[in-house]
Structure 1
C-alpha cells in the first residue's frame, strides 16, 4: 500500500526506493533511522524508566525478571519506578480475540497502526512491516472470513485517505497456494493453474507440467473480473472478498521469487544434483568438494547476509536466504569445474537472469534479455532433467521479468521482508500458553517504546569492507580518517583496483552484474568519500587473485 507524496508503508506490500547503479539500500535505511532517532534516544538516556522500557524490549526480558529488577531498584534509591513490568511497559491487561475461519484471530486497526508507523519512523525508511491480522490454528484457514476486517480497513483508507494523504494499494504478496486461496481460483497444480497466463498444463508422471515457454496468452484483469462477475451472478462458486477492492487481480498479485525461484527452482536443482537421477547426480566426492568450497566462503560473507554457507547435503534444511545466496552469488563459483559443463551453463542462465531482475537498474535495462534467458532455461530443463521437471515453479520463471518491470525489481514484490518480520514475531512468543495473546501484548509494548538506535557497522572491517564503486571499479576500505571532503562527508582510505576482468563472459559479461576479478598487485591507495561506498560486495581471496561479487538484493 502506498501513500502519495513519497510516504509509504508495507501492509501486505513491499516498497523499494531508487538505488543508483544497483547499490545496496541497507546503509541508506540505517543512516536515515540513526539520524531520525538519535535525538529521541539522547533524551531517553536521561530517564531511567524510559531506558528500562527500551532495554527490556530490546533484550526480550521476561516480566518476572523485570519485576525483580524494578523492586530491587525501588529499594535502592529509585522510588519513582513502578513495581510491575506491565506498568512500565504499558502492557494491556486483556486482548480481544475472535474465532474466524477455524482459527483464533486478533485484529489491529489498520488506520491506527499505519498512523503510528508514520509517526514513529522517518519517511526515508521505506520498508515497514507491521501486523494487521494475526491468526493461530492447527490447519490452514477454511475460508477468508479472517481477512474481512483488514479488507474493510483497506477500503476505508482508500475512500478517506490518511491525514490528508491519498492511499493506494501497491500489491499483495503471497506464495502460490495462498494466492490461489486469496483469489478463489484453481491451485497451481491444476490444468489451468497459472494465474498469469492461460496455458493448459500437461499430465506427466503424476503431475501437471507446463512445456510451452513462448507466445503465451496473458491473463487480464478485465477477463478475470468478467469471469468472477458471472460466478457471482450465478452463484456457482464463492468469489474472493478482495474482488471488492479496486485491484488489478492479475498484476497486483505478483509471483513471489522467494518461494518460486529460491525455495522452488533452486532447491529442486540442488536436490537433483545431490540425490537425483544418475545422469545429473554428483558423486559423493563432488558433493564433498562443493561443500568444502562453500564452507571456505563463510569468512567472506558480509553481515548483510543473515546466514553463512553450509553443507550441501543439508539442502532439506536450507532457508530461502541461503538458496538465494547460492543462486545469485556463491553457486557460480563453487560449481565451476565440478558440475558438468552443460548443467553448469544451464544453471548460469538461471543465475544471471535472476541476478538481473534483482537490481532496479538492471531489471529495467536488461528486462528482455532476462526473459530470453529464463525461456532458454525452461526449454533446456526439459532436455536435461526430463518432461516431469517442468512443474509450476519452473514455469513461473518465464513471468518474472514482467513482475520486475511492473514493480521495479523482484525484491520490490517479494516475501523476504515479511518472512524476516515473521521470524521476529515468533521470537516474541515465550511459552506455549496463549501464544497469540502473548504476541499481541508484546507488540503493544513495542508500540509504546522509544525507537532504538540501529548501530552502524564499521566499513573498514572484513568481511564488510568490500565495495563496488559507481564507475564500476572495486575497492576494499582499510582505514577511517579524520578528514572530510568539501561536502563534509568522512573520507576512508581504500585499496582500489582499477584494472579488472570479468569473472565470466557467458551468458553475459559479468561486469554488468558487478562480478569482477582483480590481481592483488594491481592496487592503489586512495581517499574515498564514505557516501560512495554504498554498493556492498563479497570479496573472495584466491591466492594472488580477488573476486568481487556485488550485492544485488535489497532485503
Structure 2
C-alpha cells in the first residue's frame, strides 16, 4: 500500500493529487518503472521536508530494491510493503510489479530468462516493423498491447528501432543534404564471406533526381554506389540532397563525395590490417544528370553528344543529329576542354583524375527503353499519318498483349499492358516489349518496312544484352544493325525523328566493348532503389530527415546479397514420377536467378532450354537418398524460325515450337541453359514463340 499521505491525497481527488498519483495511465508496468513513479510522487508530496532528511533516507535505502534517484524520506516503508506482499516468493529480483488505478501493488514471479526472451522479441519486432514499413504510431500502439505480457520490452518505437535523434545536415542554396560516406558500407562488404579478386573493389555510381510529391517542387538528388561483383546486391546511399531544384552550387553538393573518393582511389580502403584497392567502374546516369555533373551542354544543345564531335542542326523545332561516323571524343580532350562549345564549366569530378568520357557509358534504360522504344510506340499510335497505325491495328496489338499476360514469367516485375496505357508504361515494360513481345505482336500488323526497321533495333539490342550472343555474333555486328536502323529511320519517319536518344544508338556497341552486356551498366538497379527511397517519406514535413531516420532504422548498411541458392518448395504427391527410384515431389524450384514451376502450378514458369531444345516441366523431383534434383518433363520436337531478317532467329535460340512429345524424361538441373518465355501465336494452331530470358540468364 502507498503511504497514508498519498492515500489521503488520492481520496480527496484534488487536482494536484490526481496529477501526481494518476499521471500515468498504464496499469501494468515493470518494477523499475514503479519505483521511479513512487519516488517521484512522494518527492513532490514531501517537497517541504528538509533536504538533509531526504539524503539520510537515501543513504539508508537498500540499493538492490529501490533506485537511489529521487527516493522519498519514507522509502523504507515502501520496501517493507513490497517485502510483505511478496514474502511467499523467492527474491525481489525475480518479481514484476503491477500497479492498478487504486494504487494496489501486486508482485508476480518472473522467469529467470525474461531478459533474453524480451531481447529476442525486440529483435523480431524490429525486423518485422522495418520489413513491413510499420509507422511509429502503429508500433507504439502494439508495444502498449504487448507491455503487460513482456514488461522488459521498451515502450517507444524510437527506442526499439534505434532511431537516431540527431544528424549533421549541410545547408545549400536551395536545400540541404546528408552525407553517409563510404566507410561503413565498405566495412560491411569486406567483412562478409565473399571472395574479392585481387583485393580490388570496383564501384559504379549513379546520380539522379526524382520528384517527391505531385503538388510541390521538392525533389531528391541522391548519389548512390553499387559494388560490381558476381552476385546481386542493392545500391547504397553516399549522399542525399533534398531541395526545390537541382543541388546548387554543384561543388558543394559533390565536395564530400569527391574528397573521400579521392583518398580511397589513392590509398585504398584499410580493414583489419588489409588494404583493398578502390576503382571507379562507371557513372551510370541519364542524359540530364550527366550534363549537370559534367558541366556540359544538355541533350538539346548543338554539341550535346558526349561520345563524338557531331554538331546538331535545328529542324522542325528540335535539334537533330544525322551522322553516325563523326570523330570520337576522348578523356584527354575533355580534360583540356578542347571543344569549348561542348563545355559549360569545369566539373568538380575532374579532381578524381578518371575518364569523364570513357567512364560515363550510355544508360540503355533511359536512352533505349524510355527513349527510342517509347518514341517508336508513340509514333505508331499518335504520330503523323504516314506512319500512324489504324485504330483497328492498335486495338489488335493491345488485345493481344492483354491476352498473353498470363504467359509472362516471375522474372518480369510488370506484365504486358494495353497501348491505351502507354503514357503510364514503365521502363521494364518497354524492355519487355523491345526484347520479347515486339517481334511477335507486331508481326503481320505493321507495314513490312516499319516492321523490318523495328527488327533492326530489336536484334541489335538483344545481341548487346547477352554475353552468349555477343560471343556468337559480335558487338560490331550489333553496332552495324543499329547504324542501319538510324539511317532507315530518317527515310521512314523523317529527319525530325533523329533526336539525341536515337543518335546515341551508334555509340552503344563501343560501351559494350568496354563494360560488357548492357545490363552491366544500366540504371535498373538504381531506379529500383530510388523508388524504395521515395516510399520512405511519409509526410511533407522534413522529408530528408525522414529518409535519414528510415535508412538508419533499416540497417541500410548491412550487406544484403542475393545468393544463387538452389531451393525447392511446395511439396506434393500428385506426380507424375518415373517408375524407378524414390523421389520427393515439389512444385517450385529456385535455381540461380530464375524460378521454375510445374506446368500444373504455373504455365508461364515451366519452360527451359537444354541446348537448343525447349522443355516443359511437369514435376520437380528430389532423390531421397542423395538429394539430387531433377526436372521431369517433355520436349518440343518441331522448331522453325520466328523471323529471318536481319538474320535467322534460330541463331540466338528464338524459335516457333510445336508438337510436344508424349514421352517424359528426367533432366538434371545442370542441363538448364536458361529459362524460356513461351508466347502463343495468333495462327489458330498449337504453336508458341520461344524466347530465352537474356536479362536473367543463369
User: 8 Å contact 2:333–2:339 — kept in the other structure?
Assistant: no
Residue 550 of structure 1 is matched in structure 2 by: 692
Shift of 1:390: 0.7
1:33 is matched with none
- Aligned counterparts of 1:280 and 1:44: Cα–Cα separation in 2: 70
The 3 A distance-change label for structure 1 pair 219 and 229 is closer
Of the candidates 658, 678, 685, which is equivalent to residue 519 of structure 1?
Answer: 658
- Greater shift, 429-438 or 410-419, is seen at 429-438
Give the superposition deviation at 1:118. 4.6
Residue 281 of structure 2 corresponds to 170
Q: Structure 1 residues 209 and 357, CA, compared in 2 at 3 Å: closer, same or farther?
A: same
State how far apart, in whole Å, the 2-side matches of 1:60 and 1:534 are.
38
Identify the residue that residue 220 of structure 2 maps to in structure 1: none
CA distance in 1, matches of 2:427, 2:117: 38
8 Å CA contact 1:111, 1:153 repeated in 2: no
**Aligned equivalent of 1:135, options 241, 250, 253:** 241
1:221 maps onto 2:331 in alignment: yes
TM superposition shift of 1:121: 8.2
Question: How far apart, CA to CA, are the structure 2 residues paired with 1:511 and 1:462?
Answer: 26
- Taking a change above 3 Å as real, the CA distance of residues 431 and 92 of structure 1, as seen in their structure-2 partners, is same
Distance 1:316 1:75 in 2: 53
Summarize the Cα distance change of 1:477–1:306 in structure 2 as closer, same or farther, 3 Å threshold: same
C-alpha distance in 2, partners of 1:421/1:549? 28
Give the Cα separation in 2 of the matches to 1:175 and 1:453: 26
| Partners of 2:400 and 2:550 in 1: CA distance | 42
Residues of 2 paired with 1:211 and 1:429: CA distance?
Answer: 44
Q: Which runs of 5+ in 1 are unaligned?
A: 1-42
Change (3 A) 1:191 1:450: closer
Q: How does 1:114-263 map to 2 (within 5 A)?
A: 114-119=186-191, 125-144=231-250, 145-162=252-269, 163=271, 164-214=275-325, 216-227=326-337, 238-263=345-370
Inter-partner Cα distance in structure 1 for 2:612 and 2:468: 14
Q: Whole-Å Cα distance in 2 between the matches of residues 482 and 260 of structure 1?
A: 45
Q: What's the TM-score, normalizing by structure 2?
A: 0.68
Whole-Å separation in 2 of the counterparts to 1:411 and 1:529: 28
Give the Cα–Cα distance (whole angstroms) in 2 for the partners of residues 416 and 148 of structure 1. Answer: 26
Rounded Cα–Cα distance in structure 2 between residues aligned with 1:444 and 1:421 = 15
Contact 1:176–1:187 under 8 Å retained in 2: yes
Return the alpha-carbon distance in structure 2 between the equivalents of residues 218 and 273 of structure 1. Answer: 33
Select between 462-471 and 510-519 the one with higher mean Cα deviation.
462-471
Structure 1 vs Structure 2 CA RMSD: 2.7
SS of 1:104's equivalent in the other structure is strand
CA distance in 1, matches of 2:445, 2:181: 54
Please state how far the C-alpha of 1:182 moved relative to its aligned partner. 1.1
Question: Could you say which residue in structure 1 is the equivalent of 2:163?
Answer: 91
Give 1:464 deviation, angstroms.
5.0
Summarize deviations over 1:32-52 as a string: whole Å, max 9, x none. Answer: xxxxxxxxxxx9999322221
- CA-to-aligned-CA distance 1:118-146 (integer Å, 9 cap, x gap): 54685653433011111112222233221
Cα deviation, 1:1-28, whole Å, max 9, x if unaligned, reads xxxxxxxxxxxxxxxxxxxxxxxxxxxx
1:303 aligns to 2:410 (yes or no): yes
Change (3 A) 1:449 1:396: closer
8 Å contact kept, 1:482–1:490:
yes
Which segment drifts farther, 280-289 or 513-522?
513-522
In structure 2, the gaps of 5 or more residues are 1-115, 196-229, 568-589
Secondary structure in structure 1 of the residue aligned to 2:147: helix
Deviations 1:364-418 (A, max 9, x none): 4421110110011000000000011111111000011111111111111111110
Per-residue CA deviation, residues 458-503 of structure 1 (Å, 9 max, x unaligned), is 53342552444351222222212132898x5411212223542222
Match of 1:80 in 2: 152
Q: So what's the TM-score if we normalise by structure 1?
A: 0.85
The range that moved more, 516-525 or 304-313, is 516-525
Classify the secondary structure of the residue corresponding to 1:326: helix
Answering whether residue 419 of structure 2 is matched by residue 312 of structure 1, we say yes
> Partners in 1 of 2:356 and 2:151 — Cα distance?
59
Paired position in structure 1 for 2:132: 59
Q: Distance in 1 between matches of 2:430 and 2:516?
A: 22
Identify the match of residue 408 of structure 1 among 516, 525, 534.
516
Q: Secondary structure at the match of 2:236?
A: coil
Q: Is the 8 A contact 2:608 2:614 kept in 1?
A: yes
Q: How has the CA–CA distance of structure 1 residues 44 and 274 changed in structure 2, closer, same or farther, with 3 Å as cutoff?
A: farther
How many matched pairs?
506
1:351 aligned onto 2:426: no
SS at match of 2:655: strand
After superposition, the C-alpha distances for 1:404-459 in whole angstroms (9 at most, x for unaligned) are: 11111111111111001111111222222211111111111111798889795553
* Distance in 1 (alpha carbons) for counterparts of 2:520 and 2:561: 25
Are 1:49 and 2:122 matched, yes or no? yes
The superposition leaves residues 135-186 of structure 1 with CA deviations (integer Å, 9 ceiling, x where unpaired) of 1122222332212111122112112222321110100011111111111112
**Is contact 2:238-2:257 (8 Å) kept?**
yes
Using the alignment, how far apart are the partners of 1:528 and 1:489 within structure 2?
11
Matched with 2:440 is 333
Aligned to 1:267: 374
Q: Is the 8 A contact 1:463 1:539 kept in 2?
A: no
The CA distance in 1 between the partners of 2:556 and 2:459, in whole Å, is 45
Q: Does 1:507 align with 2:646?
A: yes
1: CA distance, partners of 2:512 / 2:351: 26
1:152 aligned counterpart, secondary structure: helix
Deviation at 1:203, TM superposition (A): 1.7
Shift of 1:97: 1.7
Query: Are the equivalent residues in 1 in contact too, given 2:637–2:659 (CA < 8 A)?
Result: no
- 1:547, 1:495 → 2: CA distance? 17
Retained in 2: the 8 A contact 1:467–1:535?
A: no
8 A Cα contact 2:189 2:559, kept in partner: no
Whether the 8 Å contact between 1:70 and 1:84 is mirrored in structure 2 is: yes
Residues 307 and 321, structure 1, Cα contact 8 Å, conserved in 2: yes
Q: Which moved further from structure 2: 266-275 or 56-65? A: 56-65
Task: Assess if the C-alpha contact under 8 Å between 1:291 and 1:310 holds in 2.
Answer: yes
Q: CA deviation at 1:280?
A: 0.5
SS of equivalent to 2:185: helix
Aligned partner of 1:25 in structure 2 is none
State whether structure 2 residue 556 is matched by structure 1 residue 483: no
Provide the C-alpha distance between the structure 1 equivalents of 2:557 and 2:295, rounded to a whole number of angstroms: 40
Contact 2:185 2:558 in 1 (8 A): no
- Is residue 2:516 matched to residue 1:376? no
Matches within 5 A, 1:440-451: 440-447=548-555
Tell which has more relative contact order, 1 or 2 (C-alpha 8 A, sep 6+).
Answer: 1
